[in-house]
Amino acid sequence: MSLINPIRTERLILRRFVPEDLIHLSAMLGDPEVMKYYGPQAKSHTPEKWFSSVEAAHEKHGMSSLAVELKDTGVFIGQAGILFQDVEGTLEQEVAYMFKKDFWGKGYASEATRECMRYAYSNLNPRRFISLINPKNDPSINLAKRNGMEFERMIEKWGMPVTLYSITLERWKATVGSGSFS
């Protein structure tokens, strides 16, 4: 099952990317501050290559990165989604996001990632959720914790050390999925 209809939250619309979004992707991928904690694999992506990989992942797995826009204005503010990552030989469902810096610190990433997790729980049969985070990226670590995730271990991914945060499906259903995390 591939996402057809947009996902709506109180303030956001999450939808499949369209070619017109390439200008927004280009701005984010070209912003050194936005890309500060990403590894060389992300920094080498052109918007067109990135768009193609997102579309291929949607077709293969039923979900990938989604464009995030403000519900009241339609302004593109970033991306969020569930990515399928090979972690030491196991296919994992990663909660991932990237926002334009003008929209940091406003709770949009929390709102978007939680809704992506709800969608994945209902449609993609996860066994758990993970986040792969540069160990120096404190804001992303804090978001993972707000999403109920706990530090699991350090791993090597994309040619660099990353922290692996995770939440079991049982814990997610009892906390984040029930709305009891803030």
Q: Domain-by-domain residue ranges, the chain? A: 7-174
State the DSSP H helix or E strand holding residue 114, giving kind and residue range, or none if neither: helix 108-123
* CA distance linking residue 81 with residue 15, whole number of Å: 10
Per-residue pLDDT of the chain (182 residues; tens, 9 = 90+): 456 689 999 999 999 999 999 999 889 888 888 878 876 666 567 778 888 888 888 888 888 999 999 999 999 999 999 999 999 999 999 999 999 999 999 999 999 999 999 999 888 888 899 999 999 999 999 999 999 999 999 999 888 899 999 999 888 888 766 654 44
Q: What's residue 134's pLDDT?
A: 92
- Residue 148 is predicted with a pLDDT of 92
- The predicted pLDDT at position 52 comes to 84
Contact in structure between 129 and 94 (CB atoms under 8 Å): yes
3-state secondary structure (DSSP) of residue 135: coil
Rounded to the nearest 5 degrees, what angle is found at the Cα of 139, between the Cα atoms of 45 and 165?
80
Where on the phi/psi map is residue 64: left (φ > 0), alpha (ψ -120 to 50), or beta?
A: beta
CATH of domain 7-174: 3.40.630.30
